Structure 1
């Protein structure tokens, strides 16, 4: 499924360096916590250059789809998939139209991607469609702040330059609300600011949700 509008060559060149910097600031441990305990077949939405792949536990029999619409990042993802300990099938596609059958996966993973999808509820409704009954959604995302000062600068950033320089990223989305609106129930979640130390220290959530 090719979407020619998802072409962000400048951001794609920056992303691996940014990803490594975040890992050094604590992202490595957060990736591990995001994925620990997973088993069976997994869909990772917006898998980028494959930074999560080394963290999948052995009980994951296949990352059935590692979905990435940006061409340069998808090439890097294929290289990372070839080195991974789990089987990885890299595909083109967008989160709002997943090329996966209903109920086909045991888990869907969204890691720092729901900030940049065009339609959060559509993307999460698709995630709800493809995950089996009894399956789960794992999420690690930055979200809208809870204090007025944070919300003000998030709104300013999202209305101006930030989405243009950060691959469509919006810092202040109500991602937890979108997860629930799409038909999931959040069963575990922690809130924190990340990176620490670092700038900007955005509000983040990491957790698990199940189909309602």
Structure 2
């Protein structure tokens, strides 16, 4: 299979994923994911860029301290759902077509970037994080909730095999075995504000995968 064919197949899988995912994700919100989003975003403030907003699952949890919300989402169907949610909540939000690896916004222009369950599925994680770092103001923070690779070597090998054979192909390019914390550090963020957590109430494999939750700061 050529690189072009692989890219077309990936786009097709992601379009299919975008069709069925919002309904499936609703049960995860009820099983605790919504409360984790709420705790993460309780103190976010200022001008916000959300990367990979999906159907707007984070929108209900943004506090009044948020003065502007710009969201980026590559899938048209999910963008439409995000806009519908924003309107239902009475929010002023701009939802843009774009990729995490090439954000359609200016450098040094946001107080915070929000990424929840996104860095597991971007095509180029290092490039996406470099873009998030670029658009933040000095001292700005990346607020994230991401499932990441196990620290156990044998389990990590199993995660990578699981991704290659099944999971990534069905779930929109999601990977359970990415070492996202290390990637955030490589992008130039101070990761002291990120903490590992486990969420056993979420469905498999999120119940098994460790998560990083918290903030990473761009240097002043």
1:160-193 CA-to-partner distances (Å, cap 9, x unmatched) read 1211100010111010111110110013222222
Mapping of 1:1-212 within 5 angstroms? 6-7=11-12, 8-63=14-69, 65-196=70-201, 198-200=203-205, 201=207, 202-212=209-219
Stretches of structure 2 lacking an aligned partner (at least 5 in a row): 1-6
Which TM-score applies when normalising by structure 2?
0.89
Rate the CA distance shift 1:160–1:207 in 2: closer, same or farther, 3 A: same
Q: Is the contact between residue 189 and residue 205 of structure 1 (CA under 8 Å) also seen in structure 2?
A: yes
Secondary structure at the counterpart of residue 194 of structure 1: coil
Larger CA deviation: 112-121 vs 145-154: 145-154
Rate the CA distance shift 1:197–1:11 in 2: closer, same or farther, 3 A: closer
Rate the CA distance shift 1:162–1:209 in 2: closer, same or farther, 3 A: same
1:80-134 CA-to-partner distances (Å, cap 9, x unmatched) read 1212344210000000101111111110001000011011110011011100012
Shift of 1:69: 0.1
Question: Where is the helix percentage greater, Structure 1 or Structure 2?
Answer: 2
1:48-87 CA-to-partner distances (Å, cap 9, x unmatched) read 0000000000000110x21000111111111112123442
Counterpart-to-counterpart distance in 1, 2:116 and 2:41: 10
Counterpart-to-counterpart distance in 2, 1:138 and 1:126: 14
Question: Where is the strand percentage greater, Structure 1 or Structure 2?
Answer: 1
Secondary structure at the counterpart of residue 150 of structure 2: coil
